[in-house]
Amino acid sequence: MASRRNVLKGVGMATIGASLPISGVLAQNAPAAASAAKAPKLLEMEGKAKLAVLGDRPLVAETQAALMDDDVTPTDKLFVRNNGQVPEATRDPKAWKIKVDGEVNTPLDITLGDLVSRFPNVTYQLVLECGGNGRSFFEPEARGNQWTNGGVGCPQWTGVRLADVLKAAGLKSSAVYTGHYGADPTLAGETDKPTISRGMPIKKAMDEHTLIAFKLNGQDLPLIHGAPVRLIVPGWAGSLSTKWLTRIWIRDKEHDGPGMGGFSYRTPKKPIVPGSKGDEKDMAILESMPVRSVITFPADGTKLAAGTRKLDLRGNAWAGDWDIKTVDISIDAGKTWKSAKVNPPANKFAWQRFTASVDLPSSGYYEVWSRATDSNGVTQPFQATNWNPQGYGANPISRIRVLVES
């Protein structure tokens, strides 16, 4: 019997930018997948894998599906999203100051060293996902970085619970929302104005998995991932997980920093015509990220040896605040589905690995689709839906393409 290694040829040559949209699948003339038209530029940076570069300035790079084939995302494979410039590395991480103020009884102005020693340290495996993940699947294009499914990772984060810190500060009854600030200069180089400042309802801030994190996979945070300290708000748009954290402002109303208004991190309350301008008044803040699955093995574009009649595949699925109930696989564009085996999460907010073995009736070309369903029964749609100008919430069924040689 041929080993998996022998059966799967050409994985290394596979198209990068995998997990393509099933774009135009129901159209008369199905277009080529836009994001796969040409090979992406690959990141060249110490300590980072060759991720797909979406933008150089600011640096934005996504993890190709075939690089996402780990239970726990290694640090070098974690996606990179910056909104501004990367601040200078601090000389003395322990002396880094974090302020907690606003609607609290006892404002804190605490060093990272004191924070680490004063509050219990916890470690969880938590999904961090860019709010715009999947944006490239919208038709027509929505504005912003054109993520496929690679603005996501699930490494281990170590930190203190934000809830413990807020309890120590004592939330006033007027506290309803947070506002987060980091040390990153704006793209224009200003340091006296926030590059981005988003916030969340107090309930999410008090979740035991919302962390002020200082370690990534057991090591000090790398600068590019927010050293020396950042927030991790799992399951919600990554922009809440402020890097280079300096301040948490407790608000008596919804936060109004840069990134909170307009069309930013918002989806329509009532669906709008794709490609239209929309109305800011009809938008609601994106909170939990939607259900999504990615086939991480084999890679998109894999050639299978002649005679191959069975494909063992695996991938990851996750759903913001929710668990994954099922993952289904189809090799015939949804005519028939087969259940994948889905592992339980390492802890809440960790992604879930799935495996499946599908029969391939003959040689030839196959699109292999994966469709995850969350614990609310909400499933991935056939195409990106609820189009919005800045492109949030695109989570169509994902696919890889394989060719069984004759």
Q: Which residues here bind another protein, judged by CB under 8 A?
A: 23-24, 26-27, 31, 34, 41, 44-47, 53-59, 80, 82, 86, 88-89, 91, 138-141, 143, 145-146, 186-188, 190, 193, 222-224, 227, 258-259, 261-264, 273-277, 383, 387, 389
Return the number of the residue (141 or 312) whose C-beta is nearest another protein: 141
For the range 43-52, what are the long-range contacts, defined as Cβ-Cβ under 8 Å and sequence gap of 24 or more?
Answer: 43/80, 45/224, 47/75, 47/76, 47/222, 47/224, 48/76, 48/80, 48/224, 49/74, 49/76, 49/77, 51/77, 51/79, 51/80, 51/150, 52/16, 52/17, 52/150
Nearer to another protein, 308 or 383 (CB): 383
Smallest distance, another protein to C-beta of residue 272, A: 10
Least Cβ distance, residue 34 to another protein (angstroms): 5
Q: Is 163:200 a contact under the CB 8 Å cutoff? A: no
- 278/298 with CB nearer another protein: 278
Rounded to a whole number of angstroms, the minimum distance from the CB of residue 88 to another protein is: 3
Return d(Cα 88, Cα 244) in angstroms, integer. Answer: 10
* Residue 148 beta carbon to another protein: minimum distance, rounded to whole angstroms: 12
Please report which helix (H) or strand (E) contains residue 115, including its range. helix 112-118
Distance in Å, CB of 134 to another protein, minimum: 14
Q: Which is nearer to another protein, 176 or 227 (CB)?
A: 227
Nearest-5° angle of CA 220, CA 225, CA 229?
55
**Closest C-alpha to 318, from 339, 298, 288, 340:** 288
Residue type, 179: G
Our CB check for another protein shows the closer of 54 and 327 to be: 54
**Shortest approach of another protein to residue 42 CB, angstroms?**
13
Nearer to another protein, 60 or 200 (CB): 60
Give the distance from CA 189 to its chain's centroid. 27
